[in-house]
């Protein structure tokens, strides 16, 4: 029986493996599921077992899991394609008889009413229908979604959004990874859903103010109508379907759907979540 992390070479997956190792899980008891042997080389060098598989090739998933394994299904990255990819994993996990299927969904679960949540809600439904013991990790947004895209903000001196005064409870990827490791190594997490978010939600005006403080420059906050932001994004080369998703997310922020505040993330990790200011400082160093 092993702890199996799918998407293990991605940003979140690597951090989950690191969190498991930090929790003294033996490397030999951790399995990384990935598409590329080359990308997984660093994990293999640390003693982690590699099983090559691809969400888009269900036949490759047949040997990815074993009876009694605890599996973390890290959601695929492309909206609109996730449901068949996730279902392939769910079917393989069911056939193998895994002991736990944890899934990284989205804050709000079945109550989430924004477009980006649709694939996650359907995936949760499929997991429930499978009859597998589950843990739903309903992740809020990663702070890195914003801090890893500072170049245009700093170039133009403006944070552009269409979220009004809405607040978003982000946390660092490392925080969510630590929570995933906690439910894979601890007791009492089966058939449970956690709403995970940062301890302190922030507005885009506050984000701009913190950027100003740390850079010593004036970074403005420009709140625009959704239609205007869609034009800005597509004009900058963002494909229109994805730009529309980003605009819709900001509308959800304005409605308070991504503010979080349950405290589940800090309780699972046993520590406060990473403050926005710390994530900004880290990004500026990079």
DSSP string, the chain: --EEEETTTSHHHHHHHHHHHHTT--GGGEEEEES-TTTTHHHHHTT-EEEE-BTTBGGGGGGT--TT-EEEEPPPSSTTTHHHHHHHHHHHHHHHT-SEEEEEEETTGGG--SGGGHHHHHHHHHHHHHT--EEEEEE--BTHHHHTT-HHHHHHTEEEES-TT-EE--B-HHHHHHHHHHHHHSSS-TTEEEEE--SS-EEHHHHHHHHHHHHTS--EEEE--HHHHHHHHHHTT--HHHHHHHHHHHHHHHTTTT-----HHHHHHTSPPPPHHHHHHHHHH-
pLDDT of 233 reads: 96
Per residue in 217-241, pLDDT (tens digit) is: 999 999 999 999 999 999 999 999 9
Q: Among residues of the chain, what percentage have pLDDT more than 90?
A: 97
Per residue in 85-133, pLDDT (tens digit) is: 999 999 999 999 999 999 999 999 999 999 999 999 999 999 999 999 9
Q: Which domains does the chain have, with CATH numbers?
A: 3-140+170-197+261-270 (3.40.50.720)
pLDDT of 215 reads: 98
Per residue in 203-213, pLDDT (tens digit) is: 999 999 999 99
pLDDT of 1 reads: 84
pLDDT of 77 reads: 86
Residue 275 has pLDDT above 90, yes or no: yes
Cβ(171)–Cβ(196) under 8 Å? yes
Name the average pLDDT for the chain.
97
pLDDT of 80 reads: 85
Q: Round to whole Å and give the CA distance between 53 and 48.
A: 15
- Single out the residue of 195, 184, 167, 170 nearest to residue 265, CA to CA: 195
Structure tokens at 278: 């710390």
Residue 183 has pLDDT above 90, yes or no: yes
Per residue in 5-16, pLDDT (tens digit) is: 999 999 999 999
pLDDT of 78 reads: 87
Per residue in 17-29, pLDDT (tens digit) is: 999 999 999 999 9
pLDDT bucket at 192, cuts 50 / 70 / 90: very high
């Amino acid at each position: 029986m092993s702890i199996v992390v799918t998407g293990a070479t991605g940003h979140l997956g690597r951090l989950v493996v690191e969190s498991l190792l930090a929790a003294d899980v033996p490397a030999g008891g951790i399995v990384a599921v990935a598409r590329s042997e080359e990308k997984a080389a660093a994990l293999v060098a640390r003693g982690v077992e590699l099983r090559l598989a691809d969400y888009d090739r269900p036949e490759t998933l047949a040997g990815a899991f074993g009876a009694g394994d605890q599996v973390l299904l890290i959601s695929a990255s492309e909206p609109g394609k996730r449901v068949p990819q996730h279902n392939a994993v769910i079917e393989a996990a069911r056939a193998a008889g895994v002991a736990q299927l944890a899934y990284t969904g989205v804050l709000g679960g079945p109550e989430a009413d924004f477009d980006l949540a649709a694939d996650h809600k359907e995936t949760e439904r499929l997991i429930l229908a499978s009859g597998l013991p589950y843990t739903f990790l309903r992740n809020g947004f990663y702070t890195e979604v914003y801090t890893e895209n500072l170049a245009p903000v700093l170039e133009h001196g403006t944070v552009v959004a269409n979220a009004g005064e809405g607040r978003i409870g982000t946390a660092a990827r490392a925080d969510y990874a630590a929570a995933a490791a906690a439910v894979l190594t601890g007791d009492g997490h089966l058939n449970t859903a956690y709403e995970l978010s940062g301890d302190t939600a922030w507005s885009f005006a506050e984000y701009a103010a913190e950027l100003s403080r740390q850079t010593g420059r004036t970074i403005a906050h420009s709140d625009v109508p959704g239609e205007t932001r869609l034009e800005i994004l597509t004009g900058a080369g963002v494909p229109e379907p994805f730009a529309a998703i980003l605009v819709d997310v900001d509308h959800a922020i304005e409605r308070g759907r991504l503010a979080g505040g349950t405290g589940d993330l800090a309780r699972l990790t046993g520590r406060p979540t990473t403050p926005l200011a710390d994530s900004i400082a880290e990004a500026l160093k990079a």
